[in-house]
């Protein structure tokens, strides 16, 4: 019996440190469609939730089954919208004990939008959503988008499995910081999982310029000096990667010594990148990602002269 328990624990540990492959071009159509669907749900949270600094009231959160808005206030109490990537359903839960669901399946963004609005009405949730995507070049309104219509359930499950692992590593990295720090959250505009640390000092106004996003929105996000990191699933000809950057940026970061050897600094983007493929095929993906997150943060915080002894957990 003891040997069985030990063997099971070891197998679970090996599974947890075995990260799946997800080439960007293997699920392009599904990724683009899912991106639009998450924007609809995210805009619901934006509309219902009170404003928080840096727009922390708008992201989604990784759950054991997918992505969730978390609780949101509405006229009759509290509600939550959940992407269940196990059962492949979108669910709306309300505090009166009711649940409403629709299938996650291959339908156009326009059809999904109509079904989703009907689901919210059925749940008694009155909300006004601006039906135009942000932070993407193609700003076709949701109710007119017939060209994004794919849903590969297996690819979505793989995406979610990677989100689970990335979320755990980012949560561990977050725990090392005592200063102001964001939750680990999924931004539906840029379609990435992120966590941000702050020095406690203000930052210069951000120049903005993101597609179909007002500059004043970006300036609120970057109103304080920060070091951010996360995981992005790829797109536009680029593969998935972990990333890290500082705002305001510093050209000296290009010369910083970081780990692992596969990590690079992009002068064009002003960011560090660790290809997901390099991380997942490492002997320990978790430790490899932690080394990347820690070394890039230390490089940025040291160059910017953060009060690291006061901000970091020793």
Helical spans, DSSP H, in the chain:
2-16, 28-48, 109-122, 153-174, 215-221, 276-280, 285-303, 308-311
pLDDT tens-place string over residues 288-307: 999 999 999 999 999 999 99
Q: Is the pLDDT of residue 100 over 50?
A: yes
DSSP H or E run through 99: strand 99-103
Residue positions counted in the chain: 314
Q: Alpha-carbon dihedral of residues 244, 208, 206, 184, nearest 10 degrees?
A: -40
Q: Spell out the residues 6+ positions from residue 114 whose beta carbon is closer than 8 angstroms to its own.
A: 143
Helical spans, DSSP H, in 73-141:
109-122
What span, in angstroms and rounded, lies between the C-alpha atoms of 71 and 159?
Answer: 24
With CA atoms as reference, report the closest residue to 296 among 267, 233, 253, 266. Answer: 253
Q: What are phi and psi of 229, to 5 degrees?
A: -150, 160
What span, in angstroms and rounded, lies between the C-alpha atoms of 229 and 298?
Answer: 12
Structure tokens at 236: 């536009």
pLDDT tens-place string over residues 145-171: 999 999 999 999 999 999 999 999 999
Q: Please report, for residues 62, 170, 272, 294, the alpha-carbon distance to residue 264 in angstroms, rounded to integers and kept in the order given.
A: 27, 19, 6, 14
- By 3-state DSSP, what share of the chain in percent is helix, strand and coil, each rounded to 5? 40, 25, 40
Q: What is the pLDDT of residue 4?
A: 36
With CA atoms as reference, report the closest residue to 134 among 211, 63, 194, 74. Answer: 211
Q: Is the pLDDT of residue 61 over 80?
A: yes
What span, in angstroms and rounded, lies between the C-alpha atoms of 132 and 27?
Answer: 23
With CA atoms as reference, report the closest residue to 182 among 202, 163, 201, 197. Answer: 197
Beta strand pairing call for 224-232 and 241-247? antiparallel
Q: Is the pLDDT of residue 310 over 70?
A: yes
Q: What is the pLDDT of residue 15?
A: 54
What span, in angstroms and rounded, lies between the C-alpha atoms of 199 and 187?
Answer: 22
User: What band does 314 get if pLDDT is binned at 50, 70 and 90?
Assistant: confident
User: What band does 16 get if pLDDT is binned at 50, 70 and 90?
Assistant: low
Q: What is the pLDDT of residue 94?
A: 98
- Provide Rg for the chain, Cα atoms: 20
Dmax (CA) of the chain:
62
With CA atoms as reference, report the closest residue to 110 among 132, 142, 147. Answer: 142
pLDDT tens-place string over residues 68-88: 999 999 999 999 999 999 999
pLDDT tens-place string over residues 33-43: 999 999 999 99
User: What band does 8 get if pLDDT is binned at 50, 70 and 90?
Assistant: very low
What span, in angstroms and rounded, lies between the C-alpha atoms of 133 and 190?
Answer: 11
């Amino acid at each position: 019996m003891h040997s069985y328990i030990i063997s099971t624990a070891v197998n679970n540990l090996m599974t947890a440190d075995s990260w799946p492959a997800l080439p960007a071009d293997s699920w392009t159509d599904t990724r683009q469609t899912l991106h639009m669907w998450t924007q609809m749900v995210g805009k619901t949270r934006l509309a219902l939730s009170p404003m928080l600094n840096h727009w922390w009231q708008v992201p989604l959160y990784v759950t054991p089954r997918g992505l969730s808005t978390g609780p949101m206030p509405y006229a009759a109490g509290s509600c939550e919208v959940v992407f269940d990537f196990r059962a492949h359903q979108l669910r709306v839960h309300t505090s009166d004990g009711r649940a409403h669901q629709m299938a996650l399946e291959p339908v156009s963004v326009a059809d999904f939008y109509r079904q989703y609005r009907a689901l919210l009405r059925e749940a008694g949730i009155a909300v006004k959503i601006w039906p135009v995507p942000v932070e993407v070049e193609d700003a076709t309104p949701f109710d007119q988008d017939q060209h994004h219509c794919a849903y590969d359930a297996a690819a979505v499950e793989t995406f979610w499995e990677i989100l689970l692992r990335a979320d755990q590593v980012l949560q561990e990295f977050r725990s090392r910081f005592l200063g102001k720090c964001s939750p680990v959250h999924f931004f539906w505009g840029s379609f990435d999982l992120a966590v941000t640390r702050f020095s406690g000092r203000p930052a210069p106004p951000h120049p903005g310029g993101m597609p179909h996003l007002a500059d004043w929105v970006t300036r609120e996000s970057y109103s304080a000096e920060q070091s951010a990191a996360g995981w992005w699933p790829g797109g536009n000809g680029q593969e998935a990667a972990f990333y890290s950057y500082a705002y305001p940026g510093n050209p000296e970061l290009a010369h910083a010594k970081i780990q692992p050897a596969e990590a690079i600094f992009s002068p064009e983007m002003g960011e560090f990148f660790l290809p997901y493929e390099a991380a997942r095929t490492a002997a320990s993906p978790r430790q490899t990602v932690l080394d990347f997150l820690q070394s890039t943060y230390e490089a940025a915080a040291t160059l910017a002269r953060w009060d690291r002894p006061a901000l970091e957990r020793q």
